[in-house]
């Protein structure tokens, strides 16, 4: 049986959840934000070592200024006010994405949060912020060029070392909530042999029972890796 060590989730459906519950769209984001702590702790308690969540994509900047500002404030709070939760439960927090494209205030909060939580023993939460799979690969290729890496030295290992996820094992299972059946540039390089699971419920409704289902489902998958 397979053991789920790295679970990656596309947190989709917050705005639709809010609409169906008669709430403003931003309230859906708050509900989804709160769910990350609950599901993260539950997953780590059940043996998951890495949880990677798609929090804000490189395309999400196209949303309204009001919504983007609200999301950035939620992320800032997660890395500052709510950091005590991750410290209490010994959870490592790491941000993955084009960090340089974020505000100076948020960049400083990221550095501080990563430093304070780096010795956590429970598990590692990877927050994908200003993240895009193609953007990640493009930036890795730029590093190859800037560093004048010889052509013969360019291989999968070298590229993996230059990705934002360097040092993090590839995801075992990628989950998308809300019923959408696409990955939207999430872990494009890393997910080539990940198992995929699409769930019809919106992210705010994702529960510990769904974590159990993911673990059970993954345990029964037949993984051949091309063989």
The residues annotated as belonging to the active site are 12, 60
Strands 50-57 and 195-198: unpaired
Strand order in the sheet with 91-96: 91-96, 123-131, 50-57, 6-10, 173-176, 195-198
Q: Which stretches of the chain are assigned E, i.e. beta strand?
A: 6-10, 50-57, 91-96, 123-131, 173-176, 195-198
Which sign, positive or negative, has the C-alpha torsion 186, 187, 193, 194?
Answer: negative
């Amino acid at each position: 049986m397979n053991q789920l060590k790295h679970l990656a989730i596309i947190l989709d459906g917050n705005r639709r959840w809010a609409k169906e519950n008669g709430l403003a769209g931003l309230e859906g984001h708050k509900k989804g934000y709160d769910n990350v702590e609950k599901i993260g702790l539950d997953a780590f308690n059940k043996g998951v070592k890495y949880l990677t969540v798609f929090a804000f994509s490189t395309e999400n900047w196209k949303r309204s200024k009001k919504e983007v500002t609200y999301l950035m404030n939620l992320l800032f709070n997660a890395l500052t006010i709510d950091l005590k939760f991750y410290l209490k439960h010994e959870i490592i927090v790491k941000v993955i994405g084009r960090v340089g494209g974020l505000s100076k205030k948020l960049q400083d909060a990221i550095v501080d949060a990563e430093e304070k939580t780096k010795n956590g023993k429970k598990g590692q939460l990877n927050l994908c912020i200003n993240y895009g799979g193609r953007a990640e690969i493009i930036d890795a290729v730029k590093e190859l060029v800037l560093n004048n890496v010889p052509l013969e030295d360019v291989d999968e290992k070298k590229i993996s070392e230059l990705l934002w996820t360097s040092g993090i094992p590839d995801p075992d299972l990628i989950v998308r909530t809300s019923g959408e059946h696409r990955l939207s540039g999430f872990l494009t390089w890393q997910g080539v042999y990940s198992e995929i699971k699409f769930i019809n419920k919106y992210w705010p409704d994702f529960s510990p029972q769904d974590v159990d289902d993911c673990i059970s489902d993954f345990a029964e998958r037949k993984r051949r890796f091309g063989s």
